[in-house]
Every structure is written in structure tokens, then in C-alpha cells.
């Protein structure tokens, strides 16, 4: 009980302090958009249904010994999805560069990517013909650069572009 009262007292002090310090309008303006953006971000995190085409990208080790995504560049339309297929040379995955996707894309991607092993990083596919699909419905237009975590240093990188 004493602890609770102390918490309430602290809370009251914090609130009092806040209202006392927010004399500058810029502080209020800075705080307001952040609070307003939170629910929108949560909504965007829910995977949106695919309304367009499902494109296929193969992940493979070529006869020349190159680890590649094929095609290495792909243009899709809003509402489309991409399925990456584990053809050979696994494990492979799909991981996006946080600084090489359009503004606002990371939140959408993190919501749309199943079984992530970390931020913007899909699971490793081991089994032959295993598939990893991402819906880009609701994702902002622009170019998305991505890589395979095990083979990035071997040049397994690619990009996809969502047209306007």
C-alpha cells in the first residue's frame, strides 16, 4: 500500500512536472505526432491480403558456383506478393537492408514477414523447394534491397521495386 501511494505520488509529481515544463509549444508539437503515429504503426504491422500477382524468385547455387536470387531484380505492383523458392545451395533466406528500403517500409515488412529470426530477416530455408512468401500489400512504393544472410558476402543480394 505504501509502495502504491508512493507510485501515485511519483506519478503526480511527474505529471505536475510535465505540465510545468511544457511551456514551450515545440515540446508539445514534438510529442503529439509520435503518439498519433503509434496506432497507425500497429495497424500497418498486420499483414495485408495479397490483391495482385504472386511473383517467384529462385534462390540457388548456379553451376558456375554463384549464389544468386533469380531474377536479381524484380518490379512488382502494389498489392503483389513475392515467393522465394529454395532451389539449391541452401540454407537461404530473405533479409532486407534497413537503410535500403523506402521510408515507412520496415514496419510493414516486419508485420508481413513470417518466422523472422531478427528485424527484417526471414527464417533460413533448409528443405528443397521450401518457400518463403511476403505480401507487399500496403508496403510503400520504391526499391527494396535485400540479401541472403549466409551468402551476402558471396554476392547473394538482390532488389525489388514496387511501382507506383
**Residues at the contact surface with Cu ion, assessed by CB under 5 A:** 67, 92, 148, 151, 156
What is the closest distance, in whole angstroms, from the C-beta atom of residue 52 to Cu ion in the complex?
Answer: 26
> How do the residues of the chain divide into helix, strand and coil, expressed in percent and rounded to 5?
30, 25, 40
Nearer to Cu ion, 139 or 148 (CB): 148
Q: Which ranges constitute the DSSP H helices of the chain?
A: 2-21, 25-45, 105-112
Q: How far apart are CA 71 and CA 53, in angstroms?
A: 16
Q: Which residue is nearest to Cu ion, using beta carbons?
A: 148
Enumerate the β-bridge partners of residue 57.
84
Nearer to Cu ion, 112 or 157 (CB): 157
Under DSSP, is residue 95 helix (H, G, I), strand (E, B) or coil? strand
DSSP 89: S
Nearer to Cu ion, 156 or 160 (CB): 156
What is the closest distance, in whole angstroms, from the C-beta atom of residue 93 to Cu ion in the complex?
Answer: 7
Nearer to Cu ion, 55 or 92 (CB): 92
Residues 6+ apart with CB under 8 A from 145: 96, 97, 100, 101, 157, 158, 159
Nearer to Cu ion, 44 or 68 (CB): 68
What is the closest distance, in whole angstroms, from the C-beta atom of residue 153 to Cu ion in the complex?
Answer: 11
Amino acid at each position: 500500500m505504501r509502495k502504491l501511494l508512493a507510485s501515485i505520488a511519483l506519478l503526480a509529481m511527474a505529471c505536475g512536472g510535465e505540465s510545468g515544463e511544457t511551456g514551450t509549444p515545440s515540446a508539445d508539437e514534438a510529442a503529439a505526432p509520435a503518439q498519433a503515429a503509434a496506432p497507425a504503426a500497429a495497424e500497418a504491422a498486420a499483414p495485408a491480403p495479397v490483391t495482385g500477382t504472386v511473383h517467384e524468385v529462385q534462390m540457388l547455387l548456379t553451376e558456375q558456383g554463384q549464389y544468386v536470387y533469380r531474377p536479381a531484380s524484380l518490379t512488382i505492383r502494389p498489392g503483389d506478393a513475392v515467393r522465394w523458392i529454395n532451389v539449391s545451395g541452401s540454407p537461404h533466406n530473405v533479409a532486407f537492408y534497413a537503410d535500403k528500403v523506402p521510408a515507412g517500409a520496415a514496419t510493414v515488412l516486419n508485420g508481413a514477414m513470417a518466422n523472422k529470426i531478427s528485424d527484417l530477416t526471414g527464417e533460413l530455408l533448409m528443405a528443397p523447394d521450401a518457400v518463403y512468401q511476403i505480401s507487399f500489400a500496403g508496403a510503400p512504393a520504391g526499391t527494396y534491397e535485400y540479401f541472403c544472410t549466409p551468402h551476402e558476402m558471396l554476392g547473394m543480394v538482390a532488389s525489388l521495386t514496387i511501382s507506383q
